[in-house]
Structure 1
């Protein structure tokens, strides 16, 4: 192996889409559920999961929930609604800003304190989870998560927030693969290649918290976790500095608890 690049991330799009659709149908059937609810952000991950869900189950069995805050870009809301219209699915729009403000008020949160930024952001993510489960309970649906392998390996999700779901249909795909599969399935390129952001605080971008761009990160993750190569070799094969590769490993180790069930004394 001379290098690790986008060639290591090539997908058989038709096969991959079919596998996910079979998984979605079987999971819903095994749970005796009536359909799937997805939180729609206007980004690529949720757009792909919604699209695959419609292909697997039909538009009548998929509900999209749009949950903006005061600082969610209007274009994201527009993209979420337009994707839902394209798919022909029902949607609910729930502004979660006032719900979050109620939490912050009761907890006496100083919203200007930067140390509060991540705890506040996680509250908003968990509010979204609660709303999705309300609709899931109401309709006997399952909550489909939208996390990908890139995010899960470095712990870039909120425990019991966007990580609180019933199934994860795209968690085996790296972010760059998610983008390419979305494009293959006809999702507009402005969504497929939109910079990722959970929009949990003003100006929030994924690159604020992730040490590399996804185009740099994904080959590193493939080298470390698919090929099980040592960090130094991954650095050489990707051209990513060894310090950044080691930081990726640290993030994986620090976030193990987020990917595991709660530890118990006995089963």
Structure 2
């Protein structure tokens, strides 16, 4: 059972102001005409959309809803509701026709849930950038600090973006921001999912709740505590902490440019 450690509260107003200034400054520096956001109907993309709408006129924001056969109707409707609530233009583009040729191209690969899931994320990235390039806009990332630290994103998929407005916020803090800026309650409270296969949820795939994962990561990364100290603070098994540490270590390559050999 977890100990009494309380996850630190966020100065929400200050965080929102900083993020909005960040979005505005990056947009001005890039000389882009606006923003493109992938809307999944989940808390992260919805929070980013609401933040962007505080900074950029609605006509200069495009939301792309990119469902596949494994995307729930609820998520599609929630994504549409976010766009309509904010008054931003959106497109609903089904990606299945783009996925269908791949099993024929690589029959030996078609049985891998991981490969198929990553394929969806990379096709979505291509569609986002196709629109952003044609419209001279920035692609907004929707990854949070929790996902980035443990590598819970697809390299060159949802990790392929121009800026990450909530990239320094743990999932716990994203919820605080979402509540503050008016993201619909049903989106905040539903189980997070990447929608990469039917019935998939983030916490089932990760094998740990976001609440506990955030506490472990905060003590490990922000407080730089040792594994025994984290075990003691949270009153959990050492194996749980070691597993999170392994996720962090094994996914660092996702946050770096490809390695190269320097030639004298």
Fold match (TM-score > 0.5):
yes
1:175 to 159, 171, 174: 171
Find the aligned partners of 2:101 and 2:181 in 1 and give their Cα distance: 40
CA deviation after TM superposition for structure 1 residue 209, in Å: 2.1
Gap regions ≥5 residues in structure 1: none
Other-structure match for 1:150: 146
The 5-angstrom pairing of residues 1-267 of structure 1 reads 4-6=5-7, 8=8, 10-109=9-108, 111=110, 113=111, 116-266=112-262
Indicate the RMSD between aligned Cα atoms, in angstroms. 1.4
Q: TM-score scaled by structure 1?
A: 0.94
Q: TM-score scaled by structure 2?
A: 0.95
CA deviation after TM superposition for structure 1 residue 250, in Å: 0.3
CA deviation after TM superposition for structure 1 residue 195, in Å: 1.0
- 1:79-122 CA distances to partner (integer Å, 9 max, x unpaired)? 000010000000011101121112222221564x3xx1101110
Find the aligned partners of 1:236 and 1:98 in 2 and give their Cα distance: 51
Larger mean Cα displacement after TM superposition, 148-157 or 55-64: 55-64
Find the aligned partners of 2:178 and 2:238 in 1 and give their Cα distance: 31
Which SS does the other structure have where 1:56 is aligned? coil
Find the aligned partners of 1:258 and 1:196 in 2 and give their Cα distance: 21
Gap regions ≥5 residues in structure 2: none
- 1:228-263 CA distances to partner (integer Å, 9 max, x unpaired)? 000111122123321111100000111011011111
Q: How many residues align?
A: 261
Which SS does the other structure have where 1:158 is aligned? coil
Find the aligned partners of 1:110 and 1:254 in 2 and give their Cα distance: 23
